[in-house]
Amino acid sequence: MRELMNDKIEVIARFKDGDVMPAAFRWQNRVYDSLKLNMVHKERDGNDMIYYFSVSDEANFFRLAFFTRDLNWKIQEVFYK
């Protein structure tokens, strides 16, 4: 099942060699960790750069967005198994 949303989330991210990787995030009072990075892409929105991360845990797939303008993270899509 696929669900679209645009909710702010809290993210723990790792930075290495100029790259960023979400390691865990909190959404709806639940923590999702042990994330696997499946894909990253970015797009420009005016002066803002938005980075999209497709990640998964053992049960679900998520699309997270990082906005450089205000340094906020949002969850935009969930695919439940």
- The residues pairing with 73 across neighbouring beta strands, listed in sequence order, are 9, 66
pLDDT the model gives residue 43: 97
pLDDT the model gives residue 61: 97
CA distance 8 to 78: 14
pLDDT the model gives residue 25: 98
pLDDT the model gives residue 6: 96
Number of compact structural domains in the chain: 1
Listed as ranges, residues in the chain with pLDDT below 70 are none
- Summarize pLDDT for 9-23 with one digit per residue, the tens: 999 999 889 888 999
Is the entire prediction scored with pTM above 0.85?
A: yes
DSSP codes of every residue in 22-58: EEEEEETTEEE-S-EEEEEEEEEETTEEEEEEEEE-S
* Backbone CA torsion sign across 16, 18, 24, 26: positive
**Structural domain containing residue 15:** 2-80
pLDDT the model gives residue 18: 86
CA distance 22 to 48: 19
